[in-house]
Structure 1
Amino acid sequence: MIIITGATGFIGSNIVADLNARGRTDLLLVDDLGTQGKWKNIAKRRFLDLVDYRSLDQLLPKLERADAVFHMGANSSTTSTDGDEILHVNLHATMAWWRWCTLHGTPFIYASSAATYGDGAQGFADNQNPDALDKLSPLNLYGWSKHQFDKWAVERAAEGKAPPQWAGLKFFNVYGPNEYHKGDMKSLVAKNTALVARGETIRLFKSHKEGYEDGGQLRDFVYVKDCCNVMMWLLDNPKASGIFNLGTGQARSFVDLVQAIGKALAKPVSIEYIDMPESIRPNYQYFTEARMDKLRQAGFSEKFHSLDEGVADYVQQHLAQPDPFR
């Protein structure tokens, strides 16, 4: 059996799809369905059961074994201000899964985040040295929760109190199928494809920082199918453990992203630049780019989609289809 938490969400449901494609249907899904239509993300999937994540205290004592745990469940809102919920859902629940995997000798692959890097002043190297981790300063509650667990995990591993394999994945700007329920947290590809198709003007932020053109803010956009390829590789390579960045290693601008949508649709793109709200200017990131050498050195050698390739696949094979779900 393989356990996937956050299994009806964006990345989790893509993991379920990839495991089904491998012939694995002995899957225990842990999540809540909510009211945003997340059930559609797993409507075509095969699994053993779907258990509400809020019953974790009752669930874990009943579980005796698993081949692996993919822990993607979290409150992923970067604007959340509910510290108690974040503490419970993002930190304490992850600790509970870690302890269970350690006790039962189960590989543990969990979602960290590039939000742990804060403003990027310390760079984007996935160094898990405690001193290097202590220098990072996340800009929001979500990033803080992920960073605190990364530090906790490194400490436990140093004490020999870790699962036989553990991997914390610092996801950068992930886009792709099954993010449709995420509202304002959807990628700009999901938000703007229909607008480009209708010939409407796309609005991007002006730059308020010297050295960056309007719409020229840079992000490491990574396709969710590549993220899942990495996780399937980790499943097949149990000796690979540690904290790993998960991006492409190539920063691209928001203008590049929107133009890639137009290219995928064979449509011209009209862009209007608007002022960035003053409330977000102080903490706005103008550049993120994953250092990917650590994952490569661990043995992962597959090619990542370029921005144009990933956006084209997402737009043409999913967003432009009557049924966009995998």
Structure 2
Amino acid sequence: MIIITGATGFIGSCLQAKLWALKEDTVIVDWLGDQGKWRNIAKHAPDYVIAPEYLDEFLETAQNVTAVVHLGAISETTAKDGDLVWQTNVDLSMKLWQWCAEREVRFIYASSAATYGGANKVSEFRDDHNFVYQLKPLNLYGWSKQVFDTQVLKMIRTNQPCPPQWVGLKFFNVYGPNEYHKGKMISVVKVKFDDIQNGKAPKLFKSDQPHLADGGQARDFIWVGDVVDMILWFLENPKTISGIYNCGTGQARTYLDLAYAVCDAMNVSKKVDFVEMPDALKGQYQYFTQAHMEKIRKAGYTKPFTSLEDGIGQYIQDYLLKSDSYL
């Protein structure tokens, strides 16, 4: 049995769908809420749904757990409540780590590319463990993920109890179906799709960097199916591979590339409107991200990543333009 936290959310529900198809027994730890998140798991219901406030009680008697995939978090890059972020992103993660160590259960958790902060060179997106300590996140969310990453490395360095396999995945910019509940944190692909559906040209932020053209901001955008494949690969290699790994494509693409790919997938002319960047994002905005992927390739992961154009085409044609857009 596999426990997935945050499994009614975006990546978690896509992972649940794959495990359900593989006939794995799963328990998901999350709230269904009142925003329609139940639709994310409607086609692939788990064996149990545990509300987070009952997690401790469940873990006391849980049997036959083979792995915990911990994706639950406060993931808003604009989050301000430091106490709540710490309790959710650090304390809960440590509790699950310790439980897995005591029970000898594999542990896979979500880190984030937000830990890289203002990095702007490929060499600054390295996932080797010594480099992790040098990172300087730009926001509370990224800092909380950095804190747990460094706590994990400290426990490993000081020979404290650890799960038989542990993996921290630094997710880059993930897009795909089942993200519809995310509000302002929804992927740029979905936002640009909505712009066009509403009869408008897709909007992009102007650059406020003199050396960077409007639309030249670049990110490592990764199709959610590729993220799920990577998680499954770790689950299939239970006791041989541990560590912190980037989860991106290794290829940065500009926002202009993305907007044009959305236009192509929707068969509309390539036209973009540039708008001023909100003050709330200035100083916290990453202008470039590109995962350094050599480490996981050397570990044996060989599957190719979906191109931005193919991923956007699949997302729009197979989901967003359908009457039922859920995976």
- Shorter chain as denominator, the TM-score bin is over 0.9
Distance 1:140 1:194 in 2: 27
Task: Provide the residue aligned with 1:275 in structure 2.
Answer: 276
Task: Provide the residue aligned with 1:88 in structure 2.
Answer: 87
Task: Provide the residue aligned with 1:241 in structure 2.
Answer: 242
Written as runs of structure 1 = structure 2, the 5 A alignment for 1:214-229 is 214-229=214-229
Distance 2:194 2:81 in 1: 33
Task: Provide the residue aligned with 2:295 in structure 1.
Answer: 294
What is the TM-score of this pair, normalised by structure 2? 0.96
1:73 is matched by which residue type in structure 2?
G
Percent of paired sites with the same residue: 46
Deviation string, structure 1 residues 140-180 (Cα, Å, up to 9, x no partner): 11111100000111111221421010000000000011000
Written as runs of structure 1 = structure 2, the 5 A alignment for 1:121-200 is 123-129=124-130, 132-158=131-157, 159-200=159-200
Distance 2:321 2:250 in 1: 28
Deviation string, structure 1 residues 245-302 (Cα, Å, up to 9, x no partner): 0000100111111111111112113211112123422232111100000111111000
Distance 1:276 1:46 in 2: 40
Q: How much has 1:13 moved relative to structure 2?
A: 0.3
Distance 1:177 1:269 in 2: 23
> Which stretch has the larger CA shift, 227-236 or 26-35?
26-35
Residue 282 of structure 1: SS of its match in structure 2?
coil
Distance 2:249 2:4 in 1: 24
Distance 2:51 2:128 in 1: 34
Confirm or deny: 8 A CA contact 1:199 1:268 kept in the other structure.
Answer: no
Q: How much has 1:211 moved relative to structure 2?
A: 2.3
RMSD: 1.3
Q: How much has 1:58 moved relative to structure 2?
A: 2.0
Confirm or deny: 8 A CA contact 1:205 1:275 kept in the other structure.
Answer: yes
- Aligned pairs, number: 323
Task: Provide the residue aligned with 1:232 in structure 2.
Answer: 232
1:31 is matched by which residue type in structure 2?
D
Residue 193 of structure 2: SS of its match in structure 1?
helix
Q: How much has 1:80 moved relative to structure 2?
A: 0.8
Written as runs of structure 1 = structure 2, the 5 A alignment for 1:206-217 is 206-217=206-217
Q: How much has 1:195 moved relative to structure 2?
A: 2.6
Confirm or deny: 8 A CA contact 2:222 2:249 kept in the other structure.
Answer: yes
Distance 2:315 2:278 in 1: 29
Task: Provide the residue aligned with 1:201 in structure 2.
Answer: 201
Confirm or deny: 8 A CA contact 2:115 2:143 kept in the other structure.
Answer: yes
Deviation string, structure 1 residues 53-99 (Cα, Å, up to 9, x no partner): 12222222222331111110111111111111111111110001101
Distance 1:60 1:67 in 2: 13
Distance 2:67 2:134 in 1: 32
1:271 is matched by which residue type in structure 2?
V
Residue 70 of structure 1: SS of its match in structure 2?
strand
Q: How much has 1:198 moved relative to structure 2?
A: 4.8
Distance 2:71 2:282 in 1: 29
What is the TM-score of this pair, normalised by structure 1? 0.96
Distance 2:56 2:241 in 1: 29
Confirm or deny: 8 A CA contact 2:138 2:283 kept in the other structure.
Answer: no
Distance 1:46 1:8 in 2: 10
Confirm or deny: 8 A CA contact 1:202 1:269 kept in the other structure.
Answer: no
Q: How much has 1:191 moved relative to structure 2?
A: 1.5
Confirm or deny: 8 A CA contact 1:118 1:139 kept in the other structure.
Answer: yes
Deviation string, structure 1 residues 214-234 (Cα, Å, up to 9, x no partner): 011010000110000000110
Confirm or deny: 8 A CA contact 2:177 2:326 kept in the other structure.
Answer: yes
Distance 2:40 2:186 in 1: 15
Q: Residues 83, 198 of structure 1: CA spacing in aligned structure 2 closer, same or farther, 3 A cutoff?
A: closer
1:113 aligns with 2:112: yes
Confirm or deny: 8 A CA contact 2:217 2:254 kept in the other structure.
Answer: yes
Distance 1:148 1:41 in 2: 30
Confirm or deny: 8 A CA contact 2:8 2:38 kept in the other structure.
Answer: yes
1:11 aligns with 2:11: yes
Confirm or deny: 8 A CA contact 2:114 2:137 kept in the other structure.
Answer: yes
Q: Which runs of 5+ in 1 are unaligned?
A: none
